[in-house]
């Protein structure tokens, strides 16, 4: 129905999260019909982003500077560290505008079935970060999935020798819930009402 180039573009886009083949086809058609408004800016943005984006060596966030803007912002509370599964969770918490401390991105959660073990996650760096810095509270903001909870227990266990208050998100995160899918109000309430890990 369409040329190979267009078909390949549709296929590339349809691999993105949230975009199935149908949405990808509509997006491509819109770009081809309005190249100046849609296609050209997108090409420029993609090239610029690919050149500039780096992973923050301190927290694991994605930004165009390293350390990222969150790590280098002196106004943020350096005594609180929030552990999240991925950058999507970090961005969700920032969108909710309820946390002003630092973050640590694990890069996943423990999942034996998928072959994800502790060595695949950014846990060693977390332990090192806690021993280097004066942190007072560690907030485990992992999803209420089995993997998220297993990971929380594992982190608590690994930090048993570290003198730090450990809390986790309160109810409000639905069972099986991933942070990125929560509305900002729910996420904010869960963080505000966080409780100690026992
Ligand atoms: Zn950072």
Q: How far is the CA of 62 from the centre of ligand 1 (A)?
A: 8
Confidence check: pLDDT of 13 > 90: yes
Per residue, what are the HEC states of the chain? CCCHHHHHHHHHHHCCCCCCHHHHHHHHHHHHHCHHHHHHHHHHHHHHHHHHCEECCCCCCEECCCCCHHHHCCCCEEEEEEEECCHHHHHHHHHHCCCCEEEEECCCCCEHHHCECHHHCCHHHHHHHHHHCCCCEEEECCCCCHHHHHHHHHHHHHCCCCCCEEEECCCCCCCCCCHHHCCHHHHHHHHHCCEECC
Residue 152: HSE in the Cβ half-sphere, 13 Å Cα cutoff: 21
Q: What is the pLDDT of residues 158-194, one digit of tens each?
A: 998 888 999 988 766 666 667 777 777 777 777 877 8
- Residue 107 CA to ligand 1 centre (angstroms): 13
Q: How far is the CA of 23 from the centre of ligand 1 (A)?
A: 33
Cα–ligand 1 centroid distance for 95 (angstroms):
16
Averaged pLDDT for residues 12-31: 94
For 88-107, what is each residue's pLDDT tens digit? 999 999 998 889 999 999 99
Q: What is the mean pLDDT of residues 128-138?
A: 86
Average of per-residue pLDDT values in the chain = 90
> 147 C-alpha vs ligand 1 centroid, how far in Å?
24
How many angstroms is it from 60 CA to the middle of ligand 1? 6
* pLDDT given at position 177: 66
pTM here? 0.82
Query: Residue 103 Cα, ligand 1 centroid: separation in angstroms?
Result: 7
How far is ligand 1, taken at its centre, from the CA of residue 134, in Å?
Answer: 17
Residue 32's pLDDT is 96
What residues are neighbours of ligand 1 (ion), with CB under 5 Å? 56, 58-59, 61, 67-68, 71
Portion of the chain with pLDDT greater than 90, in percent: 68
């Amino acid at each position: 129905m369409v040329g190979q180039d267009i078909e390949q573009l549709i296929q590339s886009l349809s691999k993105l999260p949230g975009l199935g083949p149908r949405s990808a086809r509509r997006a491509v058609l819109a770009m081809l019909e309005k190249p100046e408004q849609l296609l050209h800016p997108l090409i420029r943005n993609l090239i610029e982003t690919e050149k500039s984006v780096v992973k923050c060596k301190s927290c694991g966030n994605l930004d165009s500077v390293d350390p990222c803007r969150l790590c280098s912002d002196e106004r943020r509370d350096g005594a609180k560290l929030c552990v999240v599964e991925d950058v999507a969770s970090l961005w969700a918490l920032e969108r909710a505008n309820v946390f002003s401390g630092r973050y640590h991105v694990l890069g996943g959660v423990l999942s034996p079935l998928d072959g994800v073990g502790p060595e695949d996650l950014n846990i060693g760096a977390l332990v090192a970060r806690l021993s280097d810095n004066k942190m007072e509270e560690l907030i485990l903001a992992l999803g209420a999935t089995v993997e998220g909870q297993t990971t929380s227990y594992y982190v608590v266990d690994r930090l048993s020798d570290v003198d730090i208050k450990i809390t986790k998100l309160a109810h409000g995160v639905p069972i099986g819930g991933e942070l990125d899918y929560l509305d900002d109000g729910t996420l904010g309430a869960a963080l505000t009402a966080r409780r100690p890990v026992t």
